[in-house]
Every structure is written in structure tokens, then in C-alpha cells.
A and B are shown apart, each in its own frame.
Chain A
């Protein structure tokens, strides 16, 4: 078992202490089925969130730094190796060049990403590479990305990853259960995943690009939260449509409703398709406006990304030097 698993999502230094984990509540089928989302209105809100707010200059630099601390720096490729993962973890520990951070007036030790996210087989390598840092290892699990292997093997997979040192587990739901409206089985599945995670935090990937409608996204999120999800997460990154702002909006509102009725804060993770600093700012604005500042910390908001960090680094350097930067000026992740 991993040590120090009570606060696996290391908050940035200024972050409030972690809230209690979501213990889950009994399945309330009415709440799931009655969930309503008006697509056009959601699209409109998502489109105007970023036109209503503009974050410029020093504020933009500060926001982008915060975005860095929210990143689950991820490699999920078939050809991942120990070497590849060690490089990723190096980047996770020191995501931004020290000279840039010093120029921005931020102590370099304050800035790490939120987690490094890998496949099961690379957990030991990642754990080794992150030893002594505050960066936890996150693992994708349960037959990621399709999640269609036998439930028994999926549960064993979770247990093995946690045993290998993963402090966070990103599980995928069976999307078919949503499309079939089989909320009881979905609830049971997520509850079983959570039990298998033990002290490791569970992020439930809904695969929103495969759920057909925004209403289904909301229903799946509600069921997952009732079953004890610590985070609801948009996508595996492998679907054709991944983290879009309207989906983020729907998840944020589902999380808000759950908090309203239970007092429990569930986290949100956007994954897949976030590539630019501008994308990151848009999601921060969305979370700030729809969920509030409390959610803008790594215990409640994550961005799963690989190439995003490089673009943020360029923007930060531009802020320091006044010159537009180039990718090759920043160490590869």
C-alpha cells in the first residue's frame, strides 16, 4: 500500500486544507432521471463565459501558474517506457524553468503539477522518479480506455495499481450503462471501484463524448457522485470528442447541485483536447464562475494534459521577456 494516502492531491501551498472525501449517498433514481440540460443554453453560456471575462498581463501570468499546479501531467501511449515516464516526472517536479519563476516572483518550489498520470505498468517507474517530491502518481485503470473488460479483472487492476503505489486512480465507466439507462448497475460499478481504491482517490471518467446527450452527461455524473466519486472527469482523451466547455459546464453544475444537497465537494477533471494556455484560462474561468474559488485548487480541479504545459511555459516566458517564445526553449516533458 502506498504511504501517505490521506491527502494524495497535494494542494498548492496557499490552498485550503482538503475537504472530506465524498462518502457517496444512496442512489436517488428520481434525481438522476429528472436531470435536465438545455443544450442551446449550455452552448451559449459556454461561449460567452470567455467573452465576459478577460485575464490580462500579470493576472494572466498568475492564472497560468495556477493552471500549472492543476495539471495531471499525462502520458498514455502504447510505447511508454521507463525512460519516457522518468522524463515526464522530471517535468512534473519542475514544470517551469526556475529563471522564469524567479522573474515572476514565485518560489520555484511552490510550483509542481498536481500529479503524474500513467498506465499501470509504469506506476513503479513514476513512483521512483517522483520520490521526495509532493507529486502523487495517478494511474488510469479499469480497462482504460473502453472499460469493457470483466468487472472482476477491472477491480483487481485497481487493487494492483494501488498496491504498486498509485495514489489516485482514474477509472472509466461502462458507457453502455448510461445509454441503456441502467443507473443501478452504473452506481454499483462505481461504488465497487471506489471500494477497491481504498484510500486512493478515485476520478470517474464518464467518457462524455460517447454519452450522446448533455442530459446523459449530467445523469452519469450524478450517479457517479452518489456512488462516491472524488472527481468526475470528462474523458479518456481517446474519444473523438473530449473535454468541451459545455460538457465542463454541465459537470460543474452537477457538482454544484451535489454540494447544495449534501454539503460535499466533488472535484472536476477536464481531460483531452486542452492544448493551449487559452484553453486552460477558459476552464479556470468556467470553474471560478460556476463553482467558485474554492474549486480552483488541485484537490477539486484538475486538467489532464500532455502538451498544454509547453504552451503555458511559452506564455509565461513571454510575460517575463516581452518576446514571444519558442517550444524548444523549454525542457520537454
Chain B
């Protein structure tokens, strides 16, 4: 019992290993070779066999296969076959299945936790207290959505077979984030777990089989990037949901471009962790520990960029270094460690590469004095100070236990630095000053903002990014939309070529009134501008007769328009909803005053009958009223997350929306889409109908007189092939709305991969501009916003 005396004298922690007997049994002591889970059966396929090892000690855990294109094909086939029945059983039956899965995760929580810990290298404490309970929570929450989907999402239907690719940092949790909402909405799934960490997904497949989830509803194909690529390219897949690196996300964006496949991406980040002088500094230090050293920093939303106010920098860093000395790094199954192992040697080397580059750039790299274990992929917590802003350790996602510290002087500078990144996944703000916190939280470009807390997650609150951190949300009501599409409608919508009224040149259409030659211009930054190229295009009238010229915009006009929009973006986004509503009502008023004139123009240009033209202009006025009405009514939500805090989901404008109008009903299409974008605080660059641009250019006169601030709306005309790709590729455009849906739309999707802007191609033709349905209105509002979840814990 000398150990007792020693412990009495030293008060060291001693080892506290979690038992792995059950996991070992399940893995047959490392002998087990897993196949894929397809159509409710285990199949081997032809793929090569690989091994998965424990990064904490290098021990062999199990073998599994890299799925081939054939395996993916079979899995998609099984998922397709399962789809009708899975949808037919209804929401309540699906709810029961999800509930059962939630329960099963809980009942086997320790086995799941141990597997997760040895496969990934994460501390057993984290797997036990965070990964597994949250995974169960997601199934519970979405059991609820399955029950409620028919009433809460009336008018929508599941997208179909969903392909899901998940990362290795939170294997089961990411599975649950993906699978639970997909199944709740009535989709079937083919999921590919990460090649480093297939085990918990395989156990989950076993659980799904045992609990009677119908065959084919969930299929799991293990493998690497090639397996994932086969999944993203498969024609039978209606949607791809991906979590992983921005680099791969971009590839998937390109691969799915033009296929009509729905897409949601949850990608990388370099999230700011902002500490004001008014913060509880000790609390902030602890927040950093949770923020950047959770899971060895291998967290997409890790608060890896510390921004600390200059007045408290020294004190903050002193406290932080003292705290870092107490962080224990050790075997993942030790219950007394804070940090486990890095998932793989490749990752470890990558992180070390960043540190070397940072040191070369002049940064000071500080690590605590305690040694880390040598027989495994371990790294100590690391603090980098004095790095130049251009250093890759400041700009790039390291995905490791590395914190980079920078300073700021004022709140405005803190926001500027926080937003000085291509990413926008999360942010953490520390201050005891409520006014300051609530001023900064909306200003930070990030999908999740944690005030005086960090890395809190819950199924009721949507998680997802801004900018190159991806699009789409996971969790909450906002997450369900990712797995739904508008229900198929009975008749086809009027296509772009429906030549209503053509040929029947209406006798009631008035003759052109103005004999004076009119010069129509582009509208950029609140001014009428001649096109940069100096070329015009003839606008042919209904019977082929010329009825004016329109400017032929080029890439420089696009550039100018986007820059003008960018200048207007912040102020328009910050206007009150009341003011936006007033401006929209005024726009409707001005349009209605000149309704007859526009109807006449429409008839002259498109050949619409007088009656149809009047209907169209009237529809435009109505649409503006609709979106004016919604401006101050499209509220956010307060989510019920199981913490003592307020989690509010705010609808924020997306930013700059590039709108491509089709040829049908050009006045209504232009005005209604603009009104939708403006009502939610977006600025817009509109590309007028290619065939009938003239009415849109005439509308500029209405826009000009409606108190719309300069640059808030910009109108371009020209050949779509010449202007729209420039918009699609532009890194300062945040979203594309493409109401044409042709080959160019696919090209635009491909080009959007540069900054991963959100793209909405209305392939389902939801938007009938003459009679906007409630569903179309809701979609326009939803597309015009993105949800930011702000978490504010409270207490005295």
C-alpha cells in the first residue's frame, strides 16, 4: 500500500482507465473485418481492406473495406427501393423508429463512447459526456420532427435518397446530425463515415438492423475520398450533405453543379474568440480551454483565433499560460485527461507543419512544460503570439490544438478582425457588458455566436456556416429545410418560352407614345450608367420589330455593380424592418401610378395582351405589398435548448444577392424577386431577362423615385452568358437566385465554388410570379435570410 502513502503525500491523479472489455469483445480483439451495410444486410463488396488503429497507442482495432462505385450503386439502389415504403408509413411510424434509435444509443452509450474514444483518439470524458449524449439527443429531437412534419412542413416533401459524408472528428455525432433529420423528413440515406473512424457508424448500423429499421432506409458504405466521390456523383442521389474540409466541399460543389442535386455543406472555420476588457477573464480562459482544446482542437468551430483587448492582453495571456500548465494530455481512455491523441500521423504532421511555418513567420510558439506521451500521436496545447496577420497560422484552419492570439483596441476593431476571414462558422464573445455583447453578436459573420460560452450544441438549435464555412443548417426547424423540397405540383409552371399573347397583338395595346429616342442605361450605385463596353443590343418587340435598345453589360459592369452593392450592404442590412417596409410600400405606390404605362410597355415588348399585361403589373404591385408586409414579420425564434440560457435564432440578411430573371412576366419577376430580397435586408444585382430586358430597365425610373439608397439595387442587362458567370464567380456575391434554370445555371453552380456562395436555382419552378403561392413566398423569405443562433447563458 505504498501507493496510498505516495498518493497521500503527492496528491497526484494516478491512472483512471475506462474499461474496454466490451469494445474489445465487439471488435473480436481486433480480428473483426467489417463489410458495408446495404439494404439491411452486411455485404463485403470488392473494395480493398484497410485497418483502423487507435491513435493513442497504435493498436489494431478492426479492418474494414473501402467501398467501390459498385458498392455505392448498390447502396443507392437499396435506398431508392426503400423510399416509397418509408414515406408511406407516415410521420408517426418514422417517429417511433427514430425514438427507438435514440433509446438504443443511450442503452449502449458506454460501448459507443469507448469505440469513439479509441477510434478517434478523443478523451473518453468527451465521448461519454458530449458526443454520445448529443447524438441520442438528435434522434430524440428529430423523432419529434418526424411526428410533426406533416403539419409543420405542409406543402413540402422529402428530397429522396440522400448521400451523406461525415468527418472523423465527431463520428457518431456527425452521423446523428445527418441521419436523424434526413430520416425524420422521410428520406432514405447512404452514409459514408470517415476512413479514420468507421467503427461507431458500423455499430450504429448493427443497432439499426437489430431495432428493425426497415432495410434500405439507412445504408452505410465505408471508404475514403474515392468512395465519397462515387456517392456525390451518383445520379440516384437527390441530395448531398457533407461535413468536412472547405477544400473537399468546393470539389463537391463543382461535382454536383448542374445536376439539380440539393446540397448542404458544413465546412471549416477559423472562429474568433473575442475577449473584451469587461469580461470575467478567468471564465474566458476556461472558455478557451473548451473552445480550442476540445477534441485536441479538431473541431470545425474551434475558437482558434483569440482576439483580446489590448488593455487586458498581458493579464489574459498570463492566466492562460498558467491554465495551460494544468492541461493533462494522455491516453484517450484515461478518465483524468483533458486532451487525447491526434487522429492520425498525417494530421499531426500537418499541424506541426503549421507551427514550423508560424515560427518562421516570426510567431512565438509557447507550450506548457509537461511532456506528452510518445507512443501515440500526441500534441500539447499550443499558444502562438506575435504572428503577423498574413501568417498561415492566423489565416488558415489548423484543425489542431493551436491557439493564435491577436489584439484589438475597440469594439469596432474587434468586429473588423473577427470578420477578416473567409470563414464564418462560429464566434465566441466574452464580456459582462450586455449592450456590448448584443451589439457585437449580430455584427460578427458567423452561423453561431456564443456569448460568454463556447462549443455549446443542441439538436434544437441550427448549426452551420456563413461564407466559406458552408451553407445549410443542422438542427432545429432551420435544419429540417435541408431535407425537404416543395411538393410536386400538378401542372407544369409556365416556362420561359410560353408565348402568351404572341401574335395576337392586342388592338388595345397603345401605340408607342414617345417619339423621342430613349436611351436606357444600366443602373449601378444609384446612377444610370452607360455600359462599359459601349455596345447596345436591340430590343425586339412582339412582332420582331425593334422597339428600343438596351445596354450590353460586360464583366466590368458586373464588377461595378457588385462593388456598389457591397458599399450599400452594411447600411441597408442595418436599416430597420419598418423603414424597409415603408420603402417597399412607396415602391408599390410609384409602380401603381404608372401601371398603365408599364402594361403598355409589356404588351409592346412581349406581346402580352393588354389584359395579361395589366394582370402582370398588378401582380408585381401585390408582390411588393406582400414582401413589404413580411419585412417586419419574418421573425426569428427562441430555441428551447436544455441549458440555462437564451438561444435566439435570428434571421439575418444573406448580403449581396445576384438575381437572374427569366423571360416570363419580366416586370413581375424583376419586381417581386427584388422586393423579396430587399425586404430582408439584402442588396441586389439584377440581371434582366435576356429576351425582354427593356421593362426591367424602365423599372429603374420607379426604383429611383422610391427612396431606395444608392447601390441597394443594381440593374444589368445583356447576354446572360457574358454577365452571369462573372457574378457567379464573384467572391463578394453571397448568393445567386437563378430563375431561369438552364445549362448556364449548372455552370453558375460550378463557378460558385470559389467562395461557396449559396445558390438557388428554381428548378422546381416554385415561383409563379403572377400568383405567388404562400409556399413560394416562404421560400423567397427563407432564401433571403440565413439563421444565426446566438447563445446567451445567464445567472447571477
Contacts and interface: CB of A to CB of B under 8 A. Distances in A.
B432 A51 contact: no
A58 B7 contact: yes
Contacts of A14: 9
Given A40-B452, A105-B2, A214 B796 contact: yes
Interface stretch (B35-43, B281-289, B409-417, B685-693): B281-289
A131 interface: no
Interface in B743-796: 793-796
B352 to A, nearest CB: 26
Interface in A275-296: 284, 288-289, 293, 296
Interface string B240-257: 000000000000000000
A41 B283 contact: yes
Nearest to B281: A36
A214 B796 CA distance: 6
B349 interface: no
Contacts of A212: 796
Interface string A297-333: 0000000000000000000000100000000000000
Contact of A62 (B3, B16, B287): B3
B11 A53 contact: no
Given A38-B280, A106-B4, A56 B452 contact: no
A62 to B, nearest CB: 2
Contacts of A45: 283, 286
B16 A55 contact: yes
B4 A58 contact: yes
Contacts of A36: 278-280, 432
B11 A296 contact: yes
Given A36-B278, A41-B286, A41-B287, A52 B338 contact: yes
Contacts of B125: 51-52
Contacts of B219: none
A218 B16 CA distance: 34
Contacts of A62: 3-11
B615 to A, nearest CB: 57
B645 A106 contact: no
Nearest to B315: A260
A37 interface: yes
Nearest to B8: A62
Contacts of A152: none
A97 interface: no
Contacts of A51: 125, 129
A253 B282 contact: yes
A104 B1 contact: yes
B8 A106 contact: yes
B336 A55 contact: yes
A41 B8 contact: no
B7 A59 contact: yes
Secondary structure of the A side of the interface?
helix
Contacts of B129: 48, 51
Contacts of B336: 52-55
Contacts of A57: 14
A134 to B, nearest CB: 17
A56 B1 contact: no
Interface string B1-34: 1111111111111111000000000000000000
Counting chain B CB atoms within 10 Å of each CB, the highest count among A44, A56, A253, A293 belongs to A44
A41 B7 CA distance: 31
B326 interface: yes
A151 interface: no
A41 B289 CA distance: 12
Contact of B793 (A40, A52, A55, A56): A40
A33 B14 CA distance: 41
A61 interface: yes
- Range for the number of chain B residues in contact with chain A: 35 or more
Interface in A173-220: 212-215
A42 interface: yes
Given A58-B4, A62-B5, A105-B5, A288 B287 contact: no
B8 A65 contact: yes
B485 interface: no
Given A41-B286, A54-B336, A213 B796 contact: yes
A63 B6 CA distance: 10
A66 B7 CA distance: 9
Contacts of A59: 3, 7, 12-14, 16
Contacts of A160: none
Contacts of B3: 58-59, 62
B644 interface: yes
A315 to B, nearest CB: 12
Contacts of A38: 279-280, 283, 432, 452, 793
Nearest to B16: A54
Nearest to B795: A39
A104 to B, nearest CB: 5
B321 interface: no
A257 to B, nearest CB: 9
B796 A39 contact: yes
B343 interface: no
A37 B794 CA distance: 11
A148 interface: no
A51 B6 CA distance: 24
A270 to B, nearest CB: 16
19 contacts: A14-B9, A36-B280, A38-B280, A40-B793, A40-B795, A41-B280, A44-B286, A44-B793, A53-B335, A55-B16, A56-B15, A60-B7, A62-B9, A63-B11, A65-B8, A104-B4, A106-B4, A213-B796, A215-B796
Interface of A: 14, 36-45, 48, 51-63, 65-66, 103-106, 212-215, 253, 284, 288-289, 293, 296, 319
Interface of B: 1-16, 125, 129, 278-280, 282-284, 286-287, 290, 326, 335-336, 338, 432, 452-453, 644-645, 793-796
Q: Identify the 10 closest CB pairs spanning chains A and B, nearest first.
A: A62-B7, A40-B793, A39-B795, A59-B14, A41-B283, A105-B1, A58-B3, A54-B335, A62-B8, A54-B16
Given A54-B13, A104-B5, 13 more contacts: A38-B793, A40-B644, A43-B795, A45-B286, A56-B16, A58-B14, A61-B4, A62-B3, A62-B7, A65-B8, A66-B8, A253-B282, A319-B4
